Structure 1
Amino acid sequence: MAGVAAATAASAWIMQAFFDAIATPSDRAQVWTVAGAIALIFLCRGVFSYLQAVLLAKAGNRVVAGIQSRIFSRLMGQDHAFFSGTESSEILMRLTQGATSARAMIDALAVGLIRDLLTFVGLAAVMVWQHATLSLMFLVIGPLAAIGLRLVLAGVRRLAGQELSSIADVYRVLQESAAGIRIIKAFALEDLMSARMDQAVRQTEARQNARTRVASLTVPMLDVLAGFAIAGILVISTTALIGGEATSPGQLMSFVTALLMAYDPARRLSQTRVAIEANMVGVNLIFDLMDRPLGLAEAPDAQALPGAPLEVAFDGAGFAYGEKVAVHPLTLTCAAGQTTAFVGPSGSGKSTLLNLVLRLQDPTSGAVRINGLDLRQAQMGSLRAAIAYVGQETFLFSDTLRENIRLGRRDASDAEVEAAARVAQAHDFIAALPQGYETPVGENGAFLSGGQKQRIAIARAVLKNAPILVLDEATSALDNISERGVRDGLAALSQGRTTIVVAHRLTTIQHADRICFLEAGRVVEEGTFDDLMARGGKFRALHDGAAGEAVG
């Protein structure tokens, strides 16, 4: 950029020699020297322009890629509450639009405040060198331009924020349409969603146009001011209103050339200031994410979990969402090598307890411990390696069936993957597919049924072979025949492991070592299946009601 600026200034400076050579065509040596100098200046400018474009793009791409990677790593460190309380469309908008704004900011700063500023300074130096007194006239427009620019920036800042808000609405409608397409089709909501998208797009368009109108005011403003300045210089230089400097035609032409060439970088500098102001809104979006405190930060002195067997204990652990208590302080132990089941009505706190065990959230009171170690003091990698999880909301990545199972243990062999699939009662349906284990599953397993996806998730947990097994409605999407086979497989898998189960199908926990009935965030009954049935309390009522529904 310094080379481009120097070559641009040199192209204005050489105009004096150019016109002097024209005035004395008989001096052939001078003509050839000036011609060679001009060719060399423009050759250098071309080379420097190419290098500037390539290197600036490379640097900008590297910076943006680094920002995106840092943001994603920061997001992965947030807790479950952040993702449940923040719309994914907003996260997507912040990541994409923020990165775009960051790239635009880099270009504006590098090109505008470096190349254009250097170019303007170089041309101004040529003007001062050729005619210092006339050069002062060009500086008159500076304060006037600054006043006008200040007024423009306030409007740009406000409209840029509104524009990003509209873009977030577009992302939101698009995401909801993709995720809820079954409901949209079933309830004939196509026209409604199209109307919402049209409104969001039109609003974005209107705000973009408004921002463009305000931002573009800098161009005519500078055009008018520059026109008056150039006209004034012309009048003054030709009517001898000022004196004291003897000026040759070549010097005057060089001065005027530098003056005219300085207008473009001066105008771009004003537009750069507007671009910086507009893009700062988007850049702030990503820095808001990067500056957000981590909800699940690893302790500086974190320790690795001991080897199996592992005991999970709730030591006065409770959790509240603000004023709303999800789990009251709870003290109980999930014994090593045994199965502990949590049952109860919806909203009783079962899933919250699992989130605490998985350390998707930290308790707001008390602690969750594994073999006495507070999970907040455990190394995150060690904790994740110690727990295998199967949830009721099965998530599959857009990859093959084999690779989705292999996520349980990424160094597993093909034979181990297939053995885990057999335990999960998934091998038969996989083998029947044309591509077998190499079958792509589509986005979140779009090409599989709910039961098939759940069996893949169970196979993934089987393959992980972790000392703690967490099952959250692991058989909810299976038919009765498949459930019996998977239940037998899970029972075999649970042997010798600390298993924590949340279940609505009470048949899946008949052989649990301990069953805890939760209500409103408290354990109100606990014991074995037979004990709770004999007691005739709330668990018995839940069991009998579920049995009646099954018969019905």
Structure 2
Amino acid sequence: MKTYFRLLSFAKPIEKFAIPYVILTLLAVVFNTLQLALLAPLLTTLFASGSANATILTKPAGWADVTGYLNYFSQQISFTYGPFGALKFVCGVIVIAVILGNVFRYFAQRIMEDFRIHTLLNLRKSVFNNVMDQHVGYFSNQRKGDIIAKIASDVGAVQFSVTGTLQVVFKEPLQLTAYVFMLFSISFKLTIFALLVIPISAFVISKIVKRLKEQATMAQHMFGLMISYLDEALSGIKIIKSFNATEAIKDKFDSENVRYSDLGRKMARRQQLSGPVSESLSVAMVTTIVLYGGSLILNHQSDLTGPEFVTYIALFSRIMQPAKALTNSFSGIHTGLAAGERVLELIDQKPEITDAPDAVSITSFNHSIRLENLSFSYPGRTVLKDINLTIPKGKTIALVGPSGGGKSTLMDLIPRFTEVESGRVTIDGTDVRKLKMESLWSLIGVVNQESMLFNDTIFNNIAFGLPDATQEQVEHAARIANAHDFILQTEHGYQSNIGDRGMKLSGGQKQRICIARAVLKNPPIMMLDEATSALDTESEKLVQEALNNLMKNRTSLVIAHRLSTIQSADMIVVLEDGQINEQGTHLELLQRNGLYKRLIDMQTFND
């Protein structure tokens, strides 16, 4: 129940929906019950019209004898307007009760639908917001498909089972109570007997739905795996085709799909079994009541009249509908709670990297970035060891070295995408852990090897960090990035859609759009992570020229795979096994005849 109430907390303000829903549902239940209760006076009027020995009824003494009151008023109307007049009156009241009952039920359902959508909106917003607040390293340890499944599928399951159950849990017990009250009003003795039979149905149904929650949890996990496989297959379609791995990927997805389908089949069978079982049990119970009640009447052991007994049977047969809805909702709620626990698990995930309570904003960069005694490790592997490095304002610092030397990790530590293990990173003498991260990020522009673009227009991709940018500002940034000319050649210019992850553009074009995006942001610090390594020679030349334009009058930290692109850097830092092996200018490092010289010779030889 703790999970259930936590999920309902996303429906606040609940009273906005609950109060009108309760009022409308109460009215709907009253008129819905009245429809059946009026059967007694209707049948009494019909039977009495042909009987010379009709009993003169007196006004009931007890307020709970609803059927007695209805029969009494029906007979009074019959005395005044005749039997046919009474029949018309009773039929009219039944029609009005049906109309009003359905009108109130309709508006109650509308309010509940608004409540459901409102809850879904808040829940999905909270999940997505919390995911986006996680530090960058969090996503390295998570399956993207599993996160997508929680936001899409699990939240939907919560909407239709948990919030839907709330409607059933309030309305159906209320309707059940109204029916039971009417049954006691007609016959106390017969109702006591009937209530002893009902728990048998509840016991059988509870046995059927016992394992549904466990199966639902497993089903949601399998669905997340399928989404992950789907995402990987779509993202890596070229690699899959080139390695002739299409059939293997199909088999992998099909295997998981079969497991998920088999489990879904078992859950469906268990859920669908509750309906026929409860239906059969309800018929058996009605039959038992007819036999028992009929024997009492035939043996003159009951005060019930024929019309009252027929009304009683009609009411009792309807009592199984709310009881059945309750049992079905309890089987459905297990699926919703299992999904809800996965959603809440995502909401409860706390970011490992957050602003310190006394963090301050930084608005400018004036002197230098310093890395002091910096060390960092991944589980089982040390990446950086005792790094000391100063990056003066306005200078270009290049990081080079063998793969796995810690270059990208070092770059990620500056904007706190990853947290330092020991030592510290300072900007203008202030530890970055004492700065508000959003203000820190506002000073930094990033261009990675992988061009991350969005399925949107070229204009919106360039203006991503500055939504209020004008056409002139965007075009100016594109010119600096050597992108303006090819943009004009696209179908709709700056309003051309570039497709998923920019698939309609070449690698060099995508990279220049990313550079234009960084130019428009105009940050004082630039971080370039192998921004030209995946390009052909012609594209590399255009992109490198754009990068040179981007780095003018900025502090730049560059990771370079092609060493020819960073020979003009103010300082080159050579990393090997997580340590600074050597540092200096291009000419200084060549003269030392160390690791940098060997790397240059290797690339020259390969070229």
TM over 0.5: yes
Alpha-carbon separation, structure 2, partners of 1:197 and 1:213? 24
Alpha-carbon separation, structure 1, partners of 2:489 and 2:207? 69
Residue type at the aligned position of 2:558:
V
Would the aligned equivalents of 2:365 and 2:427 in 1 still touch at CA under 8 Å?
A: no
Please report the RMSD computed on the Cα atoms of aligned residues, expressed in angstroms. Answer: 2.2
SS of 1:139 mapped into structure 2: helix
The counterpart of 2:153, out of the listed 75, 91, 97, is 97
Alpha-carbon separation, structure 2, partners of 1:489 and 1:506? 17
- The residue that corresponds to 1:455 in the other structure is 512
Alpha-carbon separation, structure 1, partners of 2:163 and 2:94? 29
1:224 Cα shift?
4.2
> Deviation string for 1:312-340 (max 9, x for gaps)?
22233332222322222423222222122
The correspondence of residues 331-410 of structure 1 with structure 2, limited to 5 A, is 331-410=388-467
Would the aligned equivalents of 2:205 and 2:278 in 1 still touch at CA under 8 Å?
A: no
1:485 Cα shift?
4.6
- The residue that corresponds to 1:5 in the other structure is 29
> Deviation string for 1:41-85 (max 9, x for gaps)?
111122122213322222211211211111111011112222111
1:219 Cα shift?
2.7
Alpha-carbon separation, structure 1, partners of 2:193 and 2:104? 31
1:349 Cα shift?
1.0
Residue type at the aligned position of 2:439:
S
- The residue that corresponds to 1:202 in the other structure is 258
Residue type at the aligned position of 2:121:
A
Alpha-carbon separation, structure 2, partners of 1:135 and 1:367? 77
Would the aligned equivalents of 1:445 and 1:453 in 2 still touch at CA under 8 Å?
A: yes
Would the aligned equivalents of 1:309 and 1:467 in 2 still touch at CA under 8 Å?
A: no
Q: Sort the Cα spacing of 1:165 and 1:504 in 2 relative to 1 into closer, same or farther, 3 A.
A: same
> Deviation string for 1:3-33 (max 9, x for gaps)?
3322222222222222122224542342232
- The residue that corresponds to 2:166 in the other structure is 110
The correspondence of residues 206-355 of structure 1 with structure 2, limited to 5 A, is 206-240=262-296, 246-309=303-366, 311-355=368-412
Q: Does 1:37 align with 2:76?
A: no
- The residue that corresponds to 2:247 in the other structure is 191
- The residue that corresponds to 1:534 in the other structure is 591
Q: Does 1:515 align with 2:539?
A: no
Q: Does 1:17 align with 2:41?
A: yes
1:444 Cα shift?
0.3
Alignment gaps of 5+ in structure 1 = none
- The residue that corresponds to 1:180 in the other structure is 236
Q: Sort the Cα spacing of 1:221 and 1:482 in 2 relative to 1 into closer, same or farther, 3 A.
A: closer
Residue type at the aligned position of 1:12:
L
Most deviating of 11-20 and 212-221:
212-221
Would the aligned equivalents of 1:98 and 1:284 in 2 still touch at CA under 8 Å?
A: no
Percent identical:
28
Would the aligned equivalents of 1:392 and 1:476 in 2 still touch at CA under 8 Å?
A: yes
Alpha-carbon separation, structure 1, partners of 2:355 and 2:302? 72
RCO (CA 8 Å, sep 6+): is it higher in 1 or 2?
1
- The residue that corresponds to 2:3 in the other structure is none
- The residue that corresponds to 2:187 in the other structure is 131
Alpha-carbon separation, structure 2, partners of 1:412 and 1:347? 39
Alpha-carbon separation, structure 1, partners of 2:286 and 2:541? 89
Alpha-carbon separation, structure 2, partners of 1:312 and 1:76? 27
Alignment gaps of 5+ in structure 2 = 1-24, 50-81
1:435 Cα shift?
2.1
Q: Sort the Cα spacing of 1:146 and 1:73 in 2 relative to 1 into closer, same or farther, 3 A.
A: same
Alpha-carbon separation, structure 1, partners of 2:284 and 2:465? 73
Q: Sort the Cα spacing of 1:505 and 1:39 in 2 relative to 1 into closer, same or farther, 3 A.
A: same
Q: Sort the Cα spacing of 1:99 and 1:124 in 2 relative to 1 into closer, same or farther, 3 A.
A: same
SS of 2:426 mapped into structure 1: strand
List 4+ stretches of structure 1 deviating above 4 A. 241-245
Would the aligned equivalents of 2:512 and 2:546 in 1 still touch at CA under 8 Å?
A: no
> Deviation string for 1:448-471 (max 9, x for gaps)?
111111111111111111011111
SS of 2:385 mapped into structure 1: strand
1:275 Cα shift?
0.5
- The residue that corresponds to 1:162 in the other structure is 218
> Deviation string for 1:217-275 (max 9, x for gaps)?
32343334433432332222122299875222332222211111110110111111110
The correspondence of residues 469-548 of structure 1 with structure 2, limited to 5 A, is 469-548=526-605
1:494 Cα shift?
2.5
Q: Sort the Cα spacing of 1:103 and 1:511 in 2 relative to 1 into closer, same or farther, 3 A.
A: same
- The residue that corresponds to 2:13 in the other structure is none
Residue type at the aligned position of 1:17:
P
> Deviation string for 1:190-219 (max 9, x for gaps)?
333333333333322221111112223323
Would the aligned equivalents of 2:282 and 2:317 in 1 still touch at CA under 8 Å?
A: no
Would you say how many aligned residue pairs link Structure 1 and Structure 2?
550
> Deviation string for 1:120-157 (max 9, x for gaps)?
11111111111121112222244434433443333212
Would the aligned equivalents of 2:571 and 2:584 in 1 still touch at CA under 8 Å?
A: yes
Alpha-carbon separation, structure 2, partners of 1:489 and 1:267? 69
Would the aligned equivalents of 2:145 and 2:227 in 1 still touch at CA under 8 Å?
A: yes
